[in-house]
Structure 1
Amino acid sequence: MRGSLPISRRSVFKWRQVAIGTLGSAKIMFLILGCLALTILAVANRNRTGSSSLMGWTGDVDRSYSPRGRYSIVMNTWKRYDLLKKSISHYVSCPKLDSIHIVWSEPDPPSDSLKRYLNHVVRLNSRKDQQVELVFDINKEDSLNNRFKEIKDLRTDAVFSIDDDIIFPCSSVEFAFTVWQSAPDTMVGYVPRMHWVDRKKGNGKYKYGGWWSVWWTGSYSMVLSKIAFFHKKYLKLYTDEMPASIKEYITKNRNCEDIAMSFLVANATSTPPIWVKGKIFEMGSTGISSIGGHSERRTECVNKFVGEFKRMPLVPTNMKAIDGRDSWFW
């Protein structure tokens, strides 16, 4: 009898452990099923009411229609109507686009046929959730400064400045827009450039560095406004605060308004721009950058603006934003 007692105790202990384990598993299973049921109820309630009110929780507010949730295109054009039509047809279907402002500086107003065509394209290709507004901003004077003239009724904070001969995938535009939203006081763009100290001339002189100098060193201090995001407040700042001598220089030489905007933003923020990696498709090849002596004229602009600003405000950087979803190598 005594010899069988320990065996009996061990058996009881074993069955007790099994029972506890089974009960624990049942509790865990019950907890999982309970959580699953609550999740289903929450989703059903949110779908029915538009936002969840279960246990007092409220879902995130849709900010897509706020000034920060959309952007406006400001497109510079000059007697390239076929390119203008292609660009408008492409960009009007991009998500989060609120309006397109065409900067018109030609001596004659846009023709009725051009306006009819573009308005038809906008109505046809606008996304169902947002009808894009198309506006011709007519200017009396032919000046590159017009592309940065203040737009009084602009509904968005973000301005996407672009030339009429550039086609850019909507997905890349959206990525650049999200980068800008993370740093709305700076310029965000796809065409980086650099300024360099001219060691030969000295005395605070600088040289303009084109794409190859950026490619070689990885450094840049500007992103060109031919394809860039910036805050609409800089349109007002350019209109009201940019020195008249710089505006006159730009109008006379038909060059360097993009450098002037880079100076303006850097002077206001003391921060560098952000270069976003992406592939650009240029439909035209008759821009001023294709003319001989372009770099020399840009160097002259840089030094002219340094003199007007009384300092060099541009801030060099090596940072580049890359969309990891489309890149194998970072």
Structure 2
Amino acid sequence: MSTLIGIRDGLSPVTAPGDGDLGGLYSPAKEKAANRGAYISRSPLLLRRVRQFLVATKVKLLLAVCIICVLLFFSSRIGSSMRWNPHYPSSVSSPSRGGYTVLINTWKRNSLLKQAVAHYASCGGTDAIHVVWSESDPPSDSLKAYLKKIVLSKSQTAPNFRFDINTEDNLNNRFKPIKELRTDAIFSVDDDVIVPCPTLDFAFTVWQTAPFTMVGFVPRMHFLDEEKNGVAYFEYGGWWSVWWMGTYSMVLSKAAFFHRKYLDLYTYKMPSSIHDYVTRERNCEDIAMSLLVANATGAPPIWVKGKIYEIGSSGISSLKGHNDRRNKCLNDFISLYGTVPLVSTNAKAVDTRHEWFW
């Protein structure tokens, strides 16, 4: 009985080692306080270990980032030695045919024409600039003088500049042969389209590898829509169709390179019925040129991926019924050819120096 009473009263017959200051008395509260003190004394060691762990983790993460950066650097260096060097001279070019002629189609948009001429005069590959003029009144002397002054001030190579004047407003004019050309390469462009000079020069090197096909920045496609009574009907696909399908069969002449010989073929060899069609409809000369080149080569065009800028207001492509007219043009031209010369492809040329991944 006395033992039970002694335990209930907190008396202990045994003194724990190290508890001499308790005078032989055991107290749970005092034991907790003692343990708390031991934990506090150990906490600096724990904090140091946590800090060491975090520092080690940061070092490993930093090391991993450095390794990744080094790998990307060397892969880009290796890639640059394997990929296309746009400054390497092509075997198909020659000193007498170096550079390209910029052929600008314009119509009653002198402010846009001034911007276009000033820009393309500043591009190092520009050998000459020709403006296709198809208005009833000839360009004013002041406009001529201003543009010539702009060309001289903006260019480093002083390219040849001239107007190719036509008295008749006809879209076929943009593909008339040009006398005294010094280049094989023609860059056909609308007056409201600006292609940055480095992008344009890269496209020129692409064209040099395939000088008899069209190389451009605005891809379009055709696809079989339906066939009735043995007659196929084709659909003309715009940019969103190209993006969705991942294929194209045309590049528009609003921003494209082609060989000078196609100016002669378009004017003198292409069926006159197509000329008449373009004159009557005031549309689709670019589709006609795509069909002409595809029919001559049996090969697809080449789309160059690159940023281009359209200045000014929207063109005829924004008008209501534009796609219907393009569909009709495509099918009427195919019926005149008696075949489908267009060749589809999903390849594109990319300047990998400006891409994140090779």
Asked if these proteins are the same fold (TM beyond 0.5), I'd say yes
Residue 180 of structure 1 corresponds to: 207
* 1:190-217 C-alpha deviation (Å, 9 max, x unpaired): 0000001012656221110110010001
Residue 228 of structure 1 corresponds to: 256
Q: Is 1:199 matched with 2:226?
A: yes
Secondary structure (helix, strand or coil) at the match of 1:196 reads: strand
d(CA) in 2 for partners of 1:63, 1:195: 31
Secondary structure (helix, strand or coil) at the match of 1:198 reads: strand
Residue 238 of structure 2 corresponds to: 210
d(CA) in 1 for partners of 2:91, 2:245: 42
Q: How much has 1:120 moved relative to structure 2?
A: 0.5
d(CA) in 2 for partners of 1:162, 1:235: 14
Q: How much has 1:285 moved relative to structure 2?
A: 2.7
Count the aligned residue pairs: 269
Give the one of 128, 142, 167 matched to 1:113.
142
For the pair shown, the structure with the greater C-alpha radius of gyration is 2
Q: How much has 1:143 moved relative to structure 2?
A: 0.4
Name the amino acid aligned to 1:71: Y
Residue 15 of structure 1 corresponds to: none
d(CA) in 2 for partners of 1:173, 1:264: 23
Residue 239 of structure 1 corresponds to: 267
Change (3 A) 1:295 1:329: farther
d(CA) in 1 for partners of 2:204, 2:90: 19
* 1:252-290 C-alpha deviation (Å, 9 max, x unpaired): 111000000000000000000000001111012331101
Residue 326 of structure 2 corresponds to: 298
Are the equivalent residues in 1 in contact too, given 2:93–2:208 (CA < 8 A)? no
Q: Is 1:271 matched with 2:299?
A: yes
Structure 1, unaligned runs of 5 or more: 1-59
Secondary structure (helix, strand or coil) at the match of 2:325 reads: helix
Q: Is 1:153 matched with 2:184?
A: no
Are the equivalent residues in 2 in contact too, given 1:104–1:137 (CA < 8 A)? yes
Name the amino acid aligned to 2:326: R
Name the amino acid aligned to 1:241: K
Name the amino acid aligned to 2:143: L
Residue 128 of structure 2 corresponds to: 99
d(CA) in 2 for partners of 1:88, 1:327: 29
Name the amino acid aligned to 2:188: S
Q: TM-score w.r.t. structure 1 length?
A: 0.79
d(CA) in 1 for partners of 2:298, 2:238: 22
d(CA) in 1 for partners of 2:123, 2:286: 24
d(CA) in 2 for partners of 1:295, 1:62: 40
Name the amino acid aligned to 2:140: S
Residue 195 of structure 2 corresponds to: 168
Change (3 A) 1:61 1:101: closer
Greater alpha carbon shift after TM alignment, 262-271 vs 145-154? 145-154
Q: How much has 1:125 moved relative to structure 2?
A: 1.2
Secondary structure (helix, strand or coil) at the match of 1:261 reads: helix
Name the amino acid aligned to 1:214: V
Change (3 A) 1:262 1:200: same
d(CA) in 1 for partners of 2:169, 2:155: 31
Aligned positions of 1:272-291 closer than 5 A: 272-291=300-319
d(CA) in 2 for partners of 1:117, 1:84: 11
Q: Is 1:89 matched with 2:89?
A: no
Give the one of 255, 277, 296 matched to 1:249.
277
Q: How much has 1:147 moved relative to structure 2?
A: 0.4
Residue 125 of structure 1 corresponds to: 154
Q: How much has 1:67 moved relative to structure 2?
A: 4.1
Secondary structure (helix, strand or coil) at the match of 2:232 reads: coil
d(CA) in 2 for partners of 1:155, 1:312: 34
* 1:24-80 C-alpha deviation (Å, 9 max, x unpaired): xxxxxxxxxxxxxxxxxxxxxxxxxxxxxxxxxxxx999987244210000000010
